[in-house]
Structure 1
Amino acid sequence: MLDWNKINTVLLDMDGTLLDLNFDNHFWLEFIPERYAIQNQLTIDEATVVLQPLFKNMEGKLEWYCLDYWSDILNLDIVGLKTEVSGLISILPHVTDFLSALQQTDKRVLLVTNAHRGSLSLKMEKTCLQSFFDDIICSHDFGFAKEHQSFWQAFQNQHRWDKQSTLMVDDSLAVLRSAQTFGIEYLVSIKQPDSKKMPRIINEFLAINDFREIMPVAE
């Protein structure tokens, strides 16, 4: 499905691409409303009515991914709460096989995530995937989320990779559209980022059920 001979750099998203998005969906859509309700003496339905527009307004913005921001806005210890349910953090099927296969090639492999450093550290601690990457890129370090062109320009300026020989794998269509606008040549989406939800029908980009479909061959 991919001509690996033409790919020199591999950019991999974390949540919903390498890791099961079920953890994040459960945390933000179920666990946080429960805790917010308890703290503010609300029902869960009442808490959800308060929280949904707050979340919606920040989608695609760096604040959406910032644990410090939500800790302040909600008056909750978001990092601490994530740790409470960290047992749900898991790697999607065949991800480790794919990363191991990449290690047998000469490709440069970068983890590129919108996740806050606090969440990133917790997830790397739980999964031990950090050794597979040449570097880990956090959009918070640039001040822009991956949905924005300013992120891609700053990221490329600092890390010097060639758009025409780069593969980006991400579950977010908004991020893939942004990467496409920037000129990244090879773009792949994930059909089932959350193992508890049905696979999505994606026609806009090459989409895979799991990483076996784009497994590289050792060079």
Structure 2
Amino acid sequence: MALSVHNDKSVLGVDWSNIDTVLLDMDGTLLDLRFDTEFWTEIVPATYAQTQGIDLEAAKAYLNPIHARESGHLNWYCLDFWSNVVGFDIAQLKRQHAANIGWRPEAENFLRRLRASHCEVVLITNAHPDTLRIKLEQVHLEPWLDKVFTSHSFNAPKEYQAFWQELQAASAFEPQRTLFIDDSESVLASAEIYGVAHLITLRQPDSSQRQRTETRYPAVLHFDELFEGLPHFDG
């Protein structure tokens, strides 16, 4: 087993000689989920309330059931869908607040070490292409990545088995020699069903929220917990 997991899942090691491909989520994994949390729970409802001439609670009462209904489906991540729901350009609003997009601790250093290793490093995200574009402009991930895929290109989110089938067709990988890191345990569960052998989640995807005390999958607080066995980055 590549993952050395103790009972409390608090001590984690990776045997990097057993890993050929590293699949990485973006929001809540490489990037602090705080931006997305504030954007969707505060900024969008406030903007909707202003444009509709209603109070914030009424705006949230309208939007929250739609969020709940679409959770886990492609529309949940689709800026075009939400722009139609609220009647204004969500991508434009997101760009106005893009300065708040930022790395999670040690994420960039982790990518640098991965880049210096033998592993293929692939970003797989449910983010809409406009969101991906905005974030790549703000936080320069590309130099450390071999490939980037958004689930919108596959017409299925990572929660669906169709995503993994399409990813395999687009970029062949050996599930038994693949490590996948994602803050969403429902997404990790989908990867596990597909056969991805090595799965890790995050204890604190959102820096404004408390650390998770229990996780279904082995978890790290920061990526420096995974540095052992990876080459140092000297560039």
Please name the residue that 1:40 is paired with. 52
The alignment status of 1:150 with 2:162, answered yes or no, reads yes
The alignment status of 1:56 with 2:35, answered yes or no, reads no
The alignment status of 1:218 with 2:204, answered yes or no, reads no
AA of the residue aligned to 2:21? T
The alignment status of 1:69 with 2:69, answered yes or no, reads no
Please name the residue that 1:184 is paired with. 196
Q: In structure 2, what is the Cα distance between the partners aligned to 1:18 and 1:202?
A: 20
Please name the residue that 2:29 is paired with. 17
AA of the residue aligned to 1:21? L
AA of the residue aligned to 2:46? E
Gaps of 5+ in 1: none
Q: In structure 1, what is the Cα distance between the partners aligned to 2:196 and 2:100?
A: 33
Q: CA deviation at 1:6?
A: 0.2
Query: What is the percent sequence identity of the aligned residues?
Result: 39
Q: Is 85-94 or 195-204 further displaced after alignment?
A: 195-204
The alignment status of 1:193 with 2:205, answered yes or no, reads yes
**Cα deviations across residues 185-210 of structure 1 (Å, max 9, x unaligned)?**
10000010000110112331110001
Provide TM-score, normalisation by structure 2: 0.91
Q: In structure 2, what is the Cα distance between the partners aligned to 1:30 and 1:23?
A: 10
Q: CA deviation at 1:72?
A: 1.1
Q: CA deviation at 1:218?
A: 2.3
Q: In structure 2, what is the Cα distance between the partners aligned to 1:36 and 1:22?
A: 20
Please name the residue that 1:119 is paired with. 131
Match of 1:163 among 153, 166, 175: 175
Q: CA deviation at 1:154?
A: 1.1
Q: In structure 1, what is the Cα distance between the partners aligned to 2:106 and 2:215?
A: 23
Gaps of 5+ in 2: 1-12
AA of the residue aligned to 2:72? G
User: What pairs with 1:74-93 in structure 2 (closer than 5 Å)?
Assistant: 74-93=86-105
Could you list the runs of 4 or more consecutive aligned residues of structure 1 that deviate by over 4 angstroms after TM superposition? none
**Cα deviations across residues 107-150 of structure 1 (Å, max 9, x unaligned)?**
00000000001000100100111111101011000000000111
Q: In structure 2, what is the Cα distance between the partners aligned to 1:203 and 1:122?
A: 30
AA of the residue aligned to 2:166? A
Match of 1:110, SS state, is strand
RMSD across aligned positions (CA): 1.0
AA of the residue aligned to 2:231? A
Match of 2:124, SS state, is strand
Q: In structure 2, what is the Cα distance between the partners aligned to 1:177 and 1:75?
A: 34
The alignment status of 1:132 with 2:140, answered yes or no, reads no
Q: CA deviation at 1:89?
A: 0.2
AA of the residue aligned to 1:196? S
